[in-house]
Amino acid sequence: MLPKFSSRAFLAPMAGVSDPALRLQCKKMGAGLVVTEFTNIHSIVAKEKQFKENMKTIQEFIEFSEQERPLSVQLFGSDLLVLEKAAKIVEPFFDIIDYNMGCPAPHVTRQMAGGALLQEVNLTQQIFQTLVNAVKKPVTLKIRSGVTEASKFLFREIAEIAENEGIQMITLHPRTVSQGYSGNADWNMIKELKEISNMPIVGNGDIITPEDAKTMIDETGCDYVMIGRGAMGNPFLFEQINDYLKTGSYKEYSFTDRLDSFFDYLHLTNNYKIKFANIKTQAMRFTKGVHGGTKLRSKITFSKNIEELEKIMNNAYI
Ligand SMILES: Cc1cc2nc3c(=O)[nH]c(=O)nc-3n(C[C@H](O)[C@H](O)[C@H](O)COP(=O)(O)O)c2cc1C
């Protein structure tokens, strides 16, 4: 059974972005669910072996904290035996096992994983069956609508198979794999998916403001919304969405608040092994839309360590 979610707004899995520090920050700001960055099933199996020898667990590899719960771990990869092993390894640590069938990156689709699977009906069915049989925790799915313009309605068939195999929730990002991030997410597809399926549906794509979140819920009837790019450097969005859905208004945050929020993020990174390059990119996101942001970001690019970065961000306070 799915856990209870405290909010209808979820943080999207984002490789290099939804690290344990940002996830915790979004959780504290009211995200109903946070999802790890996608993780290769082969790496999980390989790391587990290595860690076991040192009496450590997979938590050394996929870092998280208890405060993030309910926490979903996202897997990708389609080798059924490895998938089964990986799912069993992560199951004790996470509340939900999410499966990635949306990633458009060529290094993923070439391994018959991510979005490429949408056109592999038989394999997809075997993947769902393997996962659902391997674990007792709920298994959920994240998909794009199809692979190309000509196959943009593949989500209909995949959702039906998923439901028959016991998948408990689907997130739909209604763009095709070949679309990448161009054009707009077609929210009509989320509405259609909600109408044809009996499980909770998470609508995803192009939510930037609390108003967008409400519009998606009102127009599509989706149960939850998931936010990716809109939450980058902007954990406030979850509180704003929750307030807006409840009261029709929300608190605005200033640039100073965003800088403070970056320092909160930075503080949290101390607890994890997050690459400096990723922290730097996060810093840039916290300066998005700010007067003088371009200049600030070029300084951030050239920072070589945390101390330099901290100094630059400190000097950004007006
Ligand atoms: C930098 C980045 C990394 C992403 N990594 C993942 C990932 O690991 N797993 C996944 O399912 N989707 C991933 N996505 C897709 C997002 O989860 C989301 O579906 C997509 O960005 C659309 O939502 P948005 O318009 O709110 O950003 C990623 C997106 C971005 C921008």
Nearest atom, ligand 1, residue 98 CA: 11
pTM comes to 0.97
- Which amino acid residue places its CA nearest to atom 14 of ligand 1? 14
Residue 55 alpha carbon to ligand 1 centre in Å: 33
Residue 278 alpha carbon to ligand 1 centre in Å: 15
What is the Cα–Cα distance from 222 to 57, expressed in whole angstroms?
A: 36
Domain ranges of the chain: 9-247, 255-315
What is the Cα–Cα distance from 167 to 189, expressed in whole angstroms?
A: 19
Q: Is 251 in contact with 243 (CB distance < 8 Å)?
A: yes
Q: Is 204 in contact with 184 (CB distance < 8 Å)?
A: no
Task: Supply angle C-alpha 165, 162, 136, rounded to 5.
Answer: 50
Nearest atom, ligand 1, residue 206 CA: 25
Query: pLDDT at position 163, please?
Result: 98
Nearest atom, ligand 1, residue 38 CA: 8
Query: pLDDT at position 217, please?
Result: 98
Pocket lined around ligand 1, Cβ cut-off 6 Å: 12-17, 37-38, 74, 100, 102-103, 142, 173, 204-207, 227-230
φ/ψ region of 55 (left if φ > 0, alpha if ψ in -120 to 50, else beta) reads left
Residue 202 alpha carbon to ligand 1 centre in Å: 14
- Which amino acid residue places its CA nearest to atom 26 of ligand 1? 228
Best mutation site among 14, 225, 281 for ligand 1 pocket (most ligand atoms within 8 Å of CB): 14
Q: Is 225 in contact with 283 (CB distance < 8 Å)?
A: no
- Tell me the catalytic residues: 103
Topology of the domain comprising 9-247: TIM Barrel (3.20.20)
- Which amino acid residue places its CA nearest to atom 6 of ligand 1? 14
Nearest atom, ligand 1, residue 185 CA: 25
- Which amino acid residue places its CA nearest to atom 23 of ligand 1? 205
What is the Cα–Cα distance from 136 to 188, expressed in whole angstroms?
A: 33
Nearest atom, ligand 1, residue 173 CA: 19
What is the Cα–Cα distance from 288 to 233, expressed in whole angstroms?
A: 8
Residue 38 alpha carbon to ligand 1 centre in Å: 10
Across the chain, which has 318 residues, the per-10-residue mean pLDDT values are: 97 97 98 98 94 86 97 98 97 98 93 94 97 98 97 98 98 97 97 98 98 98 98 97 98 93 97 96 90 90 96 90
Query: pLDDT at position 57, please?
Result: 87
Residue 182 alpha carbon to ligand 1 centre in Å: 13
Residue 318 alpha carbon to ligand 1 centre in Å: 33
H-only helix segments in the chain: 20-28, 41-53, 80-90, 106-109, 121-134, 154-165, 187-196, 210-220, 236-247, 255-269, 276-286, 293-302, 306-315
Query: pLDDT at position 288, please?
Result: 86
